[in-house]
Amino acid sequence: MAMTWKAMRNALDTDDLLERVGLERRTPAGDIMTGLGLFAVGVLVGAGLGLMFAPKRGDEIRSALNEAWRNRGRRSPDFQQDLGVEGGVPPSTASGH
């Protein structure tokens, strides 16, 4: 007796068929967790390599960053003057657009 494709598909268990072919079911949640795990490992490896190959010691880098952060507001008026902006309002154009 010959089986139709529909009868054969109903007779076979999906997981059993996938196992025979060498595959398995995957859930999207599993893929997300795998991706997050790989991302976390990459962050840790990158941070470690950054610390190993940093051109300066940590306290020197932190002090340079703090100084740059403190001086950011002092340069702002110079930038505004170079752009021709006074009081945060850009200059109007001659054509009125």
CB 43 within 8 A of CB 50: no
Q: pLDDT tens across 26-80, in order?
A: 777 777 888 889 999 999 999 888 878 888 888 888 888 788 888 777 666 666 6
Q: Give 97's pLDDT tier (boundaries 50, 70, 90).
A: low
> Which is more confident, 38 or 82?
38
* Mean pLDDT rounded to a whole number for the chain: 76
Torsion of CA 16, 21, 25, 28, to 10 degrees: -170
Average pLDDT over residues 2-24: 77
CB 77 within 8 A of CB 83: no
